[in-house]
Amino acid sequence: DWSAANIAEEQIRLIREQVGDGKVICALSGGVDSSVAALLVHRAVGDQLTCVYVDHGLMRKNETEQVEKTFGEQFEVPLVVVDARERFLERLAGTVEPEAKRKAIGAEFIRIFEEEAAKLAGAVSDDDAPEGTEVHTSGDVSAEGARFLVQGTLYSDVIESGGGTGAATIKSHHNVGGLPEDLTFELVEPLRALFKDEVRAVGTEIGLPERMVWRQPFPGPGLAIRIVGGEVTQEKLDILRDCDAILQEEIRAAGLYRELWQSFCVLPDVRSVGVQGDERTYGYVVAVRAVTSDDAMTADWARLPYDLLDRVATRMVGEVRQVNRVVLDITSKPPGTIEWE
């Protein structure tokens, strides 16, 4: 009979059966899928699991801290946090075109995760630390000889890809000095039979904080694809992160967070003239995007209350020095996409 508790128990049993006393590595993103998958595995085999979280500097406010607090401190999961913020910024310098940004971020991400996974599995020595990254660990992160890799694959992903292979191979094609020819992992996929709402129910059941269980979808390339028309810089990331935090705070306070599929800000490379006090300003324009949707295939722009929009705009212009204008995106999908790029 279906209940979140039964599903959790059954998956924990299956993970134990598959993994035995082997070591397991998991790439944690902070999203609900990888978080629930990691927690189930931790329930099943405890400290045989080590999680790796790569901070690419493109996350929203406090998200990295939340992952560290929830997994490192609350659940005491052995955790490696790779601070790769500078490395991503350098890699993105001068890149404006959306697909080029996605490619750069995806490639860099895989490379850093592979380097860490290889180090943890003992396939390369600790001295081969990826350049330009800094690593913080909590708990016992020895994963020597790790053979298993956790993935938060859902039933919908399985259908989309027409079945799965069940094995992941880290190959040495990225020219990372010292990586062995092929480092092969067997996949552990405890969410393979579940829909998103079931994943959330299981997450709630096993104690994942409400904030993480109900987190709105967030693209892998993060804030980088919400800085549009110009290159991604530290200053723009900070402006966008601050505005986004204000929007999230007000939307949560209005009780609308769960009703929206996504809500976020976009920062075009556009300055506009404004006036504040006696002074003429020349500042950034921020766009507010909020949509309702069932599956992201189609979406409707959300009719946010005027007083909420007013608070959001007033706060952004008042609290984020470089911003002097806020606009609202009223395009549905189709013809627009949810993200701007």
Is residue 32 a known part of a binding site?
A: yes
Is residue 320 a known part of a binding site?
A: no
Q: Does 339 bind ligand XMP (CB under 6 A)?
A: yes
User: Under rule CB under 6 A, which residues in 280-319 are in contact with ligand XMP?
Assistant: 296
Q: Which amino acid is at 182?
A: D
- Listed ranges 165-173, 216-224, 279-287, 321-329: which one lies at the site for ligand XMP (CB under 6 A): 216-224
CB 23 within 8 Å of CB 143: yes
Q: Does 194 bind ligand XMP (CB under 6 A)?
A: no
- Written as six digits, the tokens of 78 are 């052995």
Of 189 and 329, the one with the shorter C-beta distance to ligand XMP is 329
What Cα–Cα distance (Å) separates residue 121 from each residue in 15, 71, 113, 148?
19, 20, 12, 10
Is residue 139 a known part of a binding site?
A: no
- Minimum Å distance from CB 262 to ligand XMP? 6
Q: Does 122 bind ligand XMP (CB under 6 A)?
A: no
Q: Please tell me the number of Cα atoms within 13 Å of 105 on its side-chain side.
A: 24
Angle at Cα 72 formed by Cα 67 and Cα 76, nearest 5°?
Answer: 135
- Of residues 221, 223, 239, 316, which one binds ligand XMP by CB under 6 A? 221
Of 37 and 121, the one with the shorter C-beta distance to ligand XMP is 37
Of 160 and 182, the one with the shorter C-beta distance to ligand XMP is 160
Strands laid side by side in the 167-171 sheet: 134-138, 79-83, 49-55, 24-28, 148-150, 182-188, 167-171
- Of residues 22, 132, 209, 220, which one binds ligand XMP by CB under 6 A? 220
- Written as six digits, the tokens of 153 are 């694959």
CB 209 within 8 Å of CB 220: no
CB 139 within 8 Å of CB 72: yes
User: Under rule CB under 6 A, which residues in 71-110 are in contact with ligand XMP?
Assistant: 102
Q: Where on the chain is the footprint of ligand XMP (CB under 6 A)?
A: 102, 217, 219-221, 262, 296, 333, 337-339
Binding positions for ATP are: 29-35
Binding positions are: 29-35
